[in-house]
Amino acid sequence: METTISDKEIYLSRMSKPLQEKLRVAKYVPTWAKRVLDVGCADGTVTCALAKLFPDTQFLGIDLDEEFIKKAEERAKEEGLSNVSFERLYLRDLLARPDKFDAVIFISVLHEFFTYGEGVSSVLKALADAHELLNPKGEIVIRDMILYEYTRHTVFQTDIISGKISAVKKLQPLLLDFEKYFNPIKHLYEINHFLLKYMYEENWDRESKEHYVPVTFDEYEKIFDLLGMELQLKDSYLIPFLKEKWQTDFELTEDEMAGLKSTGFIVAKKLTVDTISV
């Protein structure tokens, strides 16, 4: 899965801004982990931050962008980190090595596997590869924009919310463009999807086509079940910044925003052979 990023500085700026928010992932990295793999590490901002938090853990960050990897290596050197390294390679390439990990983390990257790969099959392959790379009892940790399956069908209060969005004239071209690639904002799913991306006008050529919420919690659970993994955690919430922005931009009420989310975490554990039921 390779993708061309038209403006890398904008992309990296966006990726690094919510650093403290992304570092919530630290709660789900096993305290006993000796080796952790960060898939799609970009310029290593999060990987290096985690390496500081876990000085006794070795981190490997991988990405397909050579420029990002160079930036990540420079960052690690500048910060004096000896427990983190970076490589430009595909996740699948690691299967040819003897290396195993106690955790594999995907931070805001699996929706890109879907968009720039082959849809859900690329996500499934990535998680299957991650599963193979794990030691027994190791964990896959996903942090991304994840919604629930029911949002694809519910129309509860959506006419009110979509009406408020459509009333903002300057957003109408973006809305029409969004609906070219995705469905009209009829269900909570489409509304939530549009709200997560409308503010990125400066990079809209890329953002308009990228599917932010392609895999639901329900689908991730099915994938983990197929892999024989045990679900450890599932969490979803709306970060304060977006809540305030949506209130300001669209005058959405607390009640109208009750079902809207921005961030999801899902964690699954690889079982040992003796605990897998046949």
Whole-angstrom Cα distance, residue 139 to residue 136? 9
Q: Is pLDDT at 108 greater than 60 in this prediction?
A: yes
Using CA atoms, how far residue 146 sits from 122, 212, 215, 216, 220, in Å, is 16, 8, 7, 6, 9
pLDDT tens string 241-253: 999 999 999 999 9
pLDDT of residue 193: 98
List the chain domain ranges: 8-148+214-238+262-275
Binned at pLDDT 50, 70 and 90, residue 277 comes out as: low
% of the chain at pLDDT higher than 90: 87
pLDDT tens string 38-86: 999 999 999 999 999 999 999 999 999 999 999 999 999 999 999 999 9
Q: Is pLDDT at 1 greater than 80 in this prediction?
A: no
Binned at pLDDT 50, 70 and 90, residue 21 comes out as: confident
For residues 156 and 259, the answer to whether their CB atoms sit within 8 Å is: yes
pLDDT of residue 13: 52
Using CA atoms, how far residue 24 sits from 21, 34, 152, in Å, is 6, 19, 27
Q: Is pLDDT at 229 greater than 50 in this prediction?
A: yes
Mean pLDDT of the chain: 92
Longest dimension (CA), the chain: 60
Burial of 103 (0-12, 13-18, 19+ CB in 10 A): buried
pLDDT of residue 274: 59
* CATH superfamily of the 8-148+214-238+262-275 domain: Vaccinia Virus protein VP39 (3.40.50.150)
